[in-house]
Structure 1
Amino acid sequence: MRRLFHRRKKLKGRVVLMHKNLLDAKNVSTVRGVVDTSRCILSSTLIDTLSAFSNRCVSIRLISATRAAVGKKAYLKGVFTTIPTLEPEECEFDVYFDWDVEEMGIPGAFTIKNHLTVEFFLVSLTLEDVPTREEPMHFVCNSWVYNHFVYTEDRIFFSNETYVPNETPVPLVNYREEELQILRGNGKGKLKQYHRVYDYDVYNDLGNPHTSGHLARQVLGGSDTHPYPRRGRTGRKPTIEDCNSERPGHRIYVPRDEHFGHLKSSEFLSSVIKSSARKVLHLHKPLLDSITSKEEFNSFDEVHKLFDVHELCEGGFEHSFPVPHVIRVSKSAWMTDEEFAREMLAGANPCTIRCLQKFPPQSKLDSSVHGDQTSKMTEQQLEINLEGLTVDKAIKCRRLFILDYHDVFMSFLGRINEDTPKAYATRTILFLKDDGTLKPLAIELSLSQHSSGQVGALSKVVLPAEKGVENTIWLLAKAHVIVNDSCYHQLISHWLNTHAVIEPFIIATNRNLSVLHPLHKLLFPHYRDTMNINALARQSLINADGTIEQSFLSGKYSMEISSAMYKDWVFPDQALPADLIKRGMAIEDSSSPNGLGLVIEDYPFAVDGLEIWDAIKIWVQEYVSLYYPTDVAVQQDTELQAWWKEVVEKGHADLKDKPWWPKMKTLEELIQSCSTIIWIASAFHAAVNFGQYPYGGFILNRPTLSRRLIPEKGTPEYDEMEKNPEKAYLRTITPKYETLVDLSVIEILSKHASDEVYLGQRDNPNWTSNRRAIEAFKRFGEKLSEIEKNISERNHDPNLKNRTGPAHLPYTVLLPTSEKGLTFRGIPNSVSI
């Protein structure tokens, strides 16, 4: 067969593509959108039928990588339908090229023209029986191709070969550079759906002054007062009311290749519809009749009824939410001090607790502005429960820890409490017991003081109590801590430190690293769906009056708080080892396999995370070393240097002058930086995302709002607290409506799509032609499988009490693989939800 094709000077190709999905989310945003889409389908189908009958739907021209040669047009063979499908379905087409390898060389790229009015998703082209090659030649495309008239240049795709810039075959050099220029765009005009431009902008589209003045919001990014990572530019016009704010709309431009795939689009849309329907149904149930945003639940049992099993209602939607993992075994374990403390190590936000270095805790706030913010806790208060140790001795032995949200919220507390005092800034001190678990010792609740010409903190300290009204006060104090923690988790640990900070890397990579570049092939899987989910978040989650503002304590100051925390963001510290050392949770230990000794040996997030971090770094080191044998090779890579320069100076422009940025002059800097990017996008995001519903789905365990301060003795509220502790708790935390909003969203965000690609996996086995790279990646996958077994074994070790705790909830969120759905496990390659 090889000789036959060679004699005829023909090459046979196989093209795989998918048609447009009828349930593409952007086409069903409104009922009108569906109708309009249907009309377009009918009209375009009539036009495209003519092209189909003429067998001239799609043309391809091969480009040589070894000669200055371009082949003749070749057309796909077979019946080509343009009717959008309900299910994702790959279609294969044969194509035959007039190509003499002896004269024209080995193909290295191809251009494609879509002569239809409807776009399609081009999966791949495979050339079979290419002379001089033992295996087929693969072109991995994974891109939407529109009608050729919308492009100024022909769409080009390259083979799965990998080249640093100075090793690019000469015939492909200009094509490589031109493609990057197209992706950069010209920085002008409103970007349309078919554009493929990656560019930067500030967060100026969170507010909606066009609708109402109270929906105006600060522009984040571009200033010293409100710094922020950059997001993808859309080019929308400013509002009339505020020339600095971008005009809102129901569609936000995201490069089409960044949109969800067919399967995920359908599943995400289905989840949104089901969630919305469920909320509407709940609003009509007796449980939530005449609901208002101020109404709370009447009892803990009423909260549990949210998860009762009901028959399916008319239309097939469930009445109830899934039972959160934290109450599947025990309905009351969440109330214990042990579970309260354990979740700081293995809960939804296990990355904030620090080892206490100095007592009393110090504030970093400017005293000339905020007054004295020093903690009012005393050594005597702590030593009551220190098992005979002094505070000084416990600090020296690294047995005191702190969850400190004082500075984070104190700067905003005056505005949050402006109308009605309802929230504290909190500090929580904990003690490491001999059995490796943590015991809370004291909680400091602070209010901002701005009266009688004085500024500072009005603080009170609450100590643990086992019975009576003191026990209720302790439970309420813990609730205020968790409200702080919930806000910090959602705004900082989750949104800022994964979603927001990764987007500039995605933009810079697409603008500066060719698909032929080894780093593009390394990092690309870790960018999947991120720009799209971030755009959706700007529409309904982090926007003015969105889900976060409605259901979290921080309200309309939410994104300002995240901006304030971005000032202290340090890229190298996002690497897990550096993060643990910075928080005092680990010390350098040369005798340890990974060079670290954990201060709390049974710290599930750190133990599991360090194994995954090490596996990532080994994989990155093996891969990168294939292309960069020396530091000089790193320095001479023009695309790499342009990429990093743009990450720092444009993507994170507000922090560009910070001295901690790697200079990207050495191989070690490159390995560490790429490992950090992959860690943030994969394992770290998994750790702070997929525990949201398992822990936070039970609002009593992780309230997001506080609506009043702890009652003072002698008030009616205090008397009520003595008589009915449940009522007092429920009147303090998130009420009914906001609970439904929160649960509806975090249920969706905690689920895996059926087409998810997990760490150690690729969606196409032919992602590179480099055999050594594929072998290294296989070793990476095998190591992750080994880690998965290790995690499971640790979860069954009764001596590791923090692995399961009183709730009997194993720490599974960093198990690398998962099935579809709400599984409380699995590490996707990217920030994909």
Structure 2
Amino acid sequence: MAECNKIRGTVVLLRKNLSVLNDASLGGKEVCLRLISADAACKANESPGKPAYLEEWSSSKHIGESSFKVTFDWDEKFGVPGAFVIQNNDQNEFYLKTVTFEDVPGDGRIHFVCNSWVYPMERYKNDRVFFTNKTYLPSETPKPLRYYREQELQILRGDGKVGRLQEWDRVYDYEYYNNLGNPDKDHKYALKILGGSIDYPYPRRARTGLPPTESDPDSESRLPFLMSLNIYVPRDERFGQLKMSDFLAYTMKSIFQYLKSSLEAIGGTPNEFDSFQDVLKLYEGGVDLPDIALLSYIRKIIPLELLKEIYRTDCAQFFEFPKPQVIKENKSAWRSDEEFAREMLAGVNPVIIRRLEEFPPASKLDSKLYGDQNSTITAKHIESNLDGLTVDKAIEKNKLFILDHHDALMPYLRSINTTTFTKTYASRTILFLKDDGTLKPLAIELSLPPPENGDEFAAVSKVYTPSEHGVENSIWQLAKAYVTLISHWYESRKESMLNTHAVIEPFIIATNRHLSVLHPIYKLLLPHFRDTININAFGRQILINAGGLLELTVFPSKYAMEMSSVIYKNWVFPEQALPEDLKKRGMAVKDPNSPHGLRLLIEDYPLAVDGLEIWSAIEKWVKDYCFFYYKSDEIVKNDAELKSWWKELREVGHGDKKDEPWWPEMKTRKELIDSCTIIIWVASALHAAVNFGQYPYASYPPNRPTISRKFMPEEGTPEYAELESNPDKAFLKTITSQLQTVVGISIIEILSRHSTDEVYLGKRDVSEWTSDQEPLQAFKEFGNEPAKIEEKILARNKDTKLKNRVGPVNVPYTLMYPTSEGGLTGKGIPNSVSI
């Protein structure tokens, strides 16, 4: 009979440390749990119930994951448990994974998915509460749980008070990007505050509460470099142990931001690359750095054993990297025009190319401010390569396309070229779609701002056309290099940093502030937020900050983030949907008889073909899931948490866009499904498309340079003579230097690498994330889709008629291949923006 008066449970947790001294006065009461009823008939004074304690806590000597038993007194009047309160009286925090009760009268097995760090109770103003894996809309929540549901959200929102947040705080709040500069260090490290203004709009980031700088009360102070990993993010948003181990190499490599000044201080300068063979040594044995003073200096700041681990060398050959896929099969195929064009559809930059709808291309820049910025490309430049078509006929037949990096860059070009190490151009590239489905470049226009004191108020432009021989071919290769260097930053870095990393962070903050863990949309979106706040915080500390690695290794230098703010002015949430993006760029048109309701104007467009299958699989999963919980539009409209989530997301998280008419109102199931599909697509597949191709294509700098240090050589100059006599050396002296190359590849290697604990699209790291069987079945069906899509991708890559899938470099397109193993694979779609 006594057995029936007990509920026995198993608690799985990870202990960080064992207590140094066991406090005998606690008498085995280090960790206390009390149940909260989910039964509406339960009286207020009966919930939470009587305390129960983890058994054998003090006697356990195991660090790491452990299971503990807990036994509760049972009273039938209490009803079914729906949550529990936990108090940690130990001196160390622990990671609570799950709690499971077996044989609960009337309900059988009850499971709690916790996955949260629990600190000693003196760190909290309120007890920690965990709910079962049941899913409730706010209006359907059992009455005894409503108070705790609302209280938990209030805790996560914080009290709004100014003050530095600590690792045990669980506060999700917003702040501008006002912590990138460091004006207290030097005025040259002062940067514009991004967000909160018409001129420099930006998504909000997670607040840290660090005090303002002394020089500028509107700017947030920064942690010292070596403390960067201690920047505040809510503890449960931090990387897991495996991910942190993988990430440490990135942190240590970032020490190179100090090497530039150190090189000058000790009188050492890295060698220039004299030939492409010198560049290849980076992947075939390493580059010698014979300067003993430099090597000695590096060894002082980085322990030798760590150097060996990071660089996989004994320091004799100091910098050595895995060979990029773009040169594995053929070391020179990247130079071909076909590969140059193919990578606009299937490389690291597949999301900017658009159909040309007017000729010559016109600028949208204000001519009163910038002069005449319209293109100087004429029909004479291109008509001889249009397979007998006129320009008008080629446009009519959807044969002309453009890669346009003119208007976005021109307003900053004079500043970039005069105040940084960069010498570069704004560019337009016109391409022609051949009958075999490939693109061929027809003309490249390189433009500079009007002369400051000149008579003409128009861009200074020159048009280059393809050539296969002599110095004209060398000039053409340089013209393509100027285009690809802009593409590398403007497309992949802009897409990755702004359109995935930055725009997703406000969704994460708003979700935690307004959607309870019991809410179906919280459960739907949670896997797609993993590690994003943490990687973004680290990025602001050591990558995109003033004087950080991005400034050292990409051409806009100190203007990079400011330029991304200007680009954000054109960000439109509904257009982040892949079908809408393709239509906006003129790459597809509506067609109800075509797969996905779209007809691609370039049928062999790998990103679009594979991406649309991923998009459709996500959309179906989201629809099946939402239809289970929302039987009508009225339920969506009346969901209080959903309403407050979407309101704050629009008005605060993306507050600089709050008055835009394109925001969904979130009153119908379609609006909910469309919005959640976009969020999942951006966090998973879009990020994969623009991020994990970086190492395969961009870690070989001649293919995707990030910096140009010289302008195009003019005939009659020594630079032109060198281009005639030694074109490879002249090319390499124009693009990234050796030091910048090493730093740049180090960054790209880490950003392109999957961690060993990554979770990919269609998978979850928790199997019992809900107790509702229909959503679990729908997710199982969604989880079967990646394997089907992978088979199709492999088949397409083997189809020799699809020439854009592999190309001259023999690199199959796998960026939309859903799964991957860890490392540099060039494939795999993680659930979230996790690197």
**Which interval holds the TM-score relative to the shorter structure?**
over 0.9
**1:153–1:430 Cα change, 3 Å:** same
Q: Is 2:355–2:586's contact at 8 Å kept on the other side of the alignment?
A: yes
Q: Which residue of 2 aligns with 1:150?
A: 123
Counting only pairs closer than 5 Å after superposition, residues 802-817 of structure 1 correspond to structure 2 as: 802-817=804-819
> Which amino acid letter does the alignment assign opposite residue 169 of structure 2?
H
Instruction: Choose which of 778, 782, 785 in structure 2 pairs with 1:783.
Output: 785
Counting only pairs closer than 5 Å after superposition, residues 188-199 of structure 1 correspond to structure 2 as: 188=161, 189-199=163-173
**1:51–1:116 Cα change, 3 Å:** farther
Q: Which residue of 1 aligns with 2:438?
A: 437
1:150-206 Cα shifts (integer Å, max 9, x gaps) = 111100000000011100001111110000000000111221111000000000000
1:763-800 Cα shifts (integer Å, max 9, x gaps) = 11100000000000000011121111111111111111
**1:574–1:115 Cα change, 3 Å:** same
> How far apart, CA to CA, are the structure 2 residues paired with 1:279 and 1:243?
27
* Aligned-residue offset at 1:55: 1.9
SS at match of 1:157: strand
* Aligned-residue offset at 1:270: 4.4
1:304 correspondence with 2:280 = yes
Q: Is 2:19–2:90's contact at 8 Å kept on the other side of the alignment?
A: no
> How far apart, CA to CA, are the structure 1 residues paired with 2:651 and 2:62?
42
SS at match of 1:814: coil
1:231 correspondence with 2:231 = no
**1:81–1:198 Cα change, 3 Å:** farther
1:95 correspondence with 2:70 = yes
**1:767–1:52 Cα change, 3 Å:** farther
Q: Which residue of 2 aligns with 1:38?
A: none
Q: Which residue of 2 aligns with 1:37?
A: none
What TM-score results when the alignment is normalised by the length of structure 2? 0.92
> How far apart, CA to CA, are the structure 2 residues paired with 1:716 and 1:76?
79
Q: Which residue of 1 aligns with 2:688?
A: 686
Q: Which residue of 2 aligns with 1:483?
A: 485
Structure 1 residue ranges, 4+ long, deviating more than 6 angstroms after superposition: 81-84, 274-280, 310-314
> How far apart, CA to CA, are the structure 2 residues paired with 1:516 and 1:436?
50
Q: Is 1:45–1:83's contact at 8 Å kept on the other side of the alignment?
A: no
* Aligned-residue offset at 1:279: 12
Counting only pairs closer than 5 Å after superposition, residues 52-91 of structure 1 correspond to structure 2 as: 54-66=27-39, 67-68=42-43, 69-80=47-58, 89-91=64-66
Q: Which moved more, 1:249-258 or 1:403-412?
A: 249-258
Counting only pairs closer than 5 Å after superposition, residues 460-475 of structure 1 correspond to structure 2 as: 460-475=462-477
Q: Which residue of 2 aligns with 1:31?
A: none
Q: Which residue of 1 aligns with 2:427?
A: 426
> How far apart, CA to CA, are the structure 1 residues paired with 2:58 and 2:356?
66
Q: Which residue of 1 aligns with 2:353?
A: 353
Instruction: Choose which of 184, 194, 214 in structure 2 pairs with 1:210.
Output: 184
Q: Which residue of 2 aligns with 1:382?
A: 382
**1:58–1:788 Cα change, 3 Å:** same
> Which amino acid letter does the alignment assign opposite residue 472 of structure 2?
E
SS at match of 1:786: helix
1:84-132 Cα shifts (integer Å, max 9, x gaps) = 96xxx421111111122x2110000001011112111110101111112
Instruction: Choose which of 575, 578, 592 in structure 2 pairs with 1:576.
Output: 578
Q: Which residue of 2 aligns with 1:30?
A: none
> Which amino acid letter does the alignment assign opposite residue 246 of structure 2?
E
1:565 correspondence with 2:539 = no
* Aligned-residue offset at 1:452: 2.8
Q: Which residue of 2 aligns with 1:169?
A: 142
1:121 correspondence with 2:121 = no
Q: Which residue of 1 aligns with 2:401?
A: 401
1:255 correspondence with 2:234 = yes
What TM-score results when the alignment is normalised by the length of structure 1? 0.93
Q: Is 1:291–1:737's contact at 8 Å kept on the other side of the alignment?
A: no
**1:375–1:532 Cα change, 3 Å:** same
Q: Is 2:283–2:322's contact at 8 Å kept on the other side of the alignment?
A: yes
Instruction: Choose which of 604, 608, 626 in structure 2 pairs with 1:624.
Output: 626
> How far apart, CA to CA, are the structure 1 residues paired with 2:66 and 2:246?
21
* Aligned-residue offset at 1:577: 0.2
Q: Is 1:51–1:57's contact at 8 Å kept on the other side of the alignment?
A: no
> How far apart, CA to CA, are the structure 2 residues paired with 1:340 and 1:708?
21
Q: Which residue of 1 aligns with 2:12?
A: 16
1:684-718 Cα shifts (integer Å, max 9, x gaps) = 10111111111111111110001111100011111
Counting only pairs closer than 5 Å after superposition, residues 588-667 of structure 1 correspond to structure 2 as: 588-667=590-669
1:318 correspondence with 2:293 = no
Uncovered stretches (5+) of structure 1, i.e. residues with no partner:
21-40
> How far apart, CA to CA, are the structure 1 residues paired with 2:501 and 2:627?
29
1:386-425 Cα shifts (integer Å, max 9, x gaps) = 1111111111111100000001110100101115771100
* Aligned-residue offset at 1:296: 2.9
SS at match of 2:418: coil
Instruction: Choose which of 246, 257, 260 in structure 1 pairs with 2:220.
Output: 246
**1:454–1:274 Cα change, 3 Å:** closer
> How far apart, CA to CA, are the structure 2 residues paired with 1:743 and 1:315?
17
1:51-104 Cα shifts (integer Å, max 9, x gaps) = 69832221111100002332111111124589996xxx421111111122x211
**1:81–1:271 Cα change, 3 Å:** farther
> Which amino acid letter does the alignment assign opposite residue 318 of structure 1?
R
* Aligned-residue offset at 1:253: 1.1
Count of residues in correspondence between the two structures: 795
> How far apart, CA to CA, are the structure 2 residues paired with 1:478 and 1:97?
71
**1:794–1:81 Cα change, 3 Å:** farther
Counting only pairs closer than 5 Å after superposition, residues 450-599 of structure 1 correspond to structure 2 as: 450-452=452-454, 454-599=456-601
SS at match of 2:804: helix
**1:605–1:81 Cα change, 3 Å:** farther
**1:404–1:491 Cα change, 3 Å:** same
Q: Is 1:276–1:744's contact at 8 Å kept on the other side of the alignment?
A: no
**1:5–1:434 Cα change, 3 Å:** farther
* Aligned-residue offset at 1:442: 0.3
**1:12–1:760 Cα change, 3 Å:** same
Q: Which moved more, 1:304-313 or 1:61-70?
A: 304-313
> Which amino acid letter does the alignment assign opposite residue 218 of structure 2?
N
Instruction: Choose which of 105, 110, 115 in structure 1 pairs with 2:84.
Output: 110
Q: Which residue of 1 aligns with 2:364?
A: 364
Q: Which residue of 2 aligns with 1:5?
A: 3
**1:414–1:150 Cα change, 3 Å:** same
> How far apart, CA to CA, are the structure 1 residues paired with 2:155 and 2:719?
65
1:569-623 Cα shifts (integer Å, max 9, x gaps) = 0000000000000000000001013100001010000100000000000000000
SS at match of 1:759: coil
State the Cα RMSD in Å: 2.2
**1:278–1:153 Cα change, 3 Å:** closer
Q: Is 1:18–1:123's contact at 8 Å kept on the other side of the alignment?
A: yes
> How far apart, CA to CA, are the structure 2 residues paired with 1:341 and 1:116?
62
> Which amino acid letter does the alignment assign opposite residue 806 of structure 1?
P
Instruction: Choose which of 248, 265, 283 in structure 1 pairs with 2:244.
Output: 265
SS at match of 2:630: coil
* Aligned-residue offset at 1:5: 3.5
SS at match of 1:440: strand
